[in-house]
Chains A and B, each alone.
Chain A
Amino acid sequence: MQKGVIGTAHVQIRVLDMDEAVTHYRDRLGLLETDRDSQGRVYLKGWTEADKFSVVLREADEAGMDFMGFKVLNNEVLASLRQDLIDFGCNVEDIPAGELNGCGARVRFDSPTGHMFELFAEKEVVGRATGHRNPDAWPMDLKGMKATRLDHCLLYGDDLDGSLELFRDVLGFWLTEEAMDGDVRIAQFLTTSMKEHEIAFIRSEGKGQFHHASFLLESWEDVLKAADLISMWDISIDIGPTRHGLTHGQTIYFFDPSGNRNETFAGGDWYVPGMPTTTWDAEKLGKAVFYHARELNERFLTVTT
């Protein structure tokens, strides 16, 4: 049941070298740089996104994800969900407005899989790159893969059942797809919108693992051009171009210069409230993950930051 979470709004990613990371996310992925702050963090967004940023890069001694943020409808929803998170047993921290440039107060919370998440209601609106009055189809000066928006993240962790309770029962996400090994859910895809997933989890033995941040492209042709650019720039490739069974998205995976995995994808399924959850059986997992090769790839399954 919808509880006022609009959807995925931002991710803060740790990088080992900021200059290399900015070259990757801005000039190669094609995000637009919108700000930098006194901590040295760099803010970016896709050209179709109206809010000030969706990706924040922070230089650190390890790669991975600091946190992922979801926007909620308004401050009343924020206050209500904050209490629900406390009642559920999350450790909640209030981050004051302005800690991220242009972002209102954030409610940060931990989770059963060891990842940190945030809710917030307000962020500075800078608008789509084409504007909002009589806009053209696309901006003419886009770079690289021309990523349109941050779409979702996939995270690895141990307690998927607790995670499902948190996201479905407390935050009002719908379970769109799952992979089941008998009674054990080994993958779960969740949304608050018509997107097939705003966030996904795969079961592992660890906590807080970051598998990838995913960016939407306009077409399969753009996925193939991204693949060309990955070769031209000698970007570390993971797998693709191919199609997933889960979500049916057309996809390619690669790594940023610090080893964080990125996906660019196009197409795939969408979700309407009331649709049944799609279930993949463990014996079909090869096809579920890589629809064409129909076999799993060790690196895709096990490499995380």
Chain B
Amino acid sequence: MFHIDVVSSEDKSFECPPEKSLLHGMESQSVKAINVGCRGGGCGFCKIRILDGEFETKKMSIKFITKEEQAEGFALSCRVFPRSDMRVMAVGND
């Protein structure tokens, strides 16, 4: 189980096991820190910027996360699986 800090105007955190996406882990604990959309990497609603920590990702819609953005640490939290404690920033649907 990893500790996930979400940096925003109101900082929140939750615990997430490695087999759950960050968004799934957050929803499992009824925490509201990141927007919940399709939960399938398709809609861009749960966009975050990863500030710190190890992780793996599943395929994300290139319409919402370009290759350049991915290189800068942006990701869709429904497709990010933690491999260490993490610190992320909620970006939302922009």
Q: Which positions in A face B, CB cutoff 8 Å?
A: 16-17, 61-64, 236, 255-261, 299, 302-305
Contacts and interface: CB of A to CB of B under 8 A. Distances in A.
Given A299-B36, A302-B93, A259 B59 contact: no
A258 B42 contact: yes
Interface string B35-62: 0111111110100000000000011111
A-B complex: 4 closest residue pairs judged by Cβ atoms: A259-B42, A259-B38, A63-B42, A259-B40
A260 B43 CA distance: 8
A258 B45 contact: no
A62 B61 CA distance: 4
B36 A255 contact: no
A304 B63 CA distance: 11
B50 to A, nearest CB: 20
A305 B38 contact: yes
B42 A17 contact: no
B62 A62 contact: yes
Contacts of B40: 16, 63, 236, 255-260
Interface of B: 36-43, 45, 58-64, 93
Given A259-B43, A260-B40, 16 more contacts: A17-B58, A62-B42, A62-B63, A63-B42, A63-B63, A255-B38, A255-B42, A258-B40, A259-B40, A259-B41, A259-B61, A299-B45, A302-B45, A303-B43, A304-B43, A305-B63
Contacts, number: 67
Contacts of A236: 38-40
Contacts of A62: 42, 61-64
Given A63-B43, A304-B43, A259 B37 contact: yes
A305 B36 contact: no
A229 B63 CA distance: 30
Contacts of B61: 16, 61-64, 258-259, 305
9 contacts: A61-B61, A62-B42, A62-B62, A63-B61, A64-B42, A259-B38, A259-B40, A302-B45, A303-B38
A61 B42 CA distance: 10
A22 to B, nearest CB: 15
A255 B39 contact: yes
B38 A61 contact: no
Contacts of B60: 16
Contacts of A303: 37-38, 43, 45
A302 B40 CA distance: 15
Given A299-B36, A302-B93, A64 B41 contact: no
B93 A305 contact: no
B41 A16 contact: yes
Nearest to A299: B37
A261 B38 CA distance: 7
Nearest to B93: A302
B19 to A, nearest CB: 13
B37 A61 contact: no
Contacts of B58: 16-17
Contacts of B93: 302
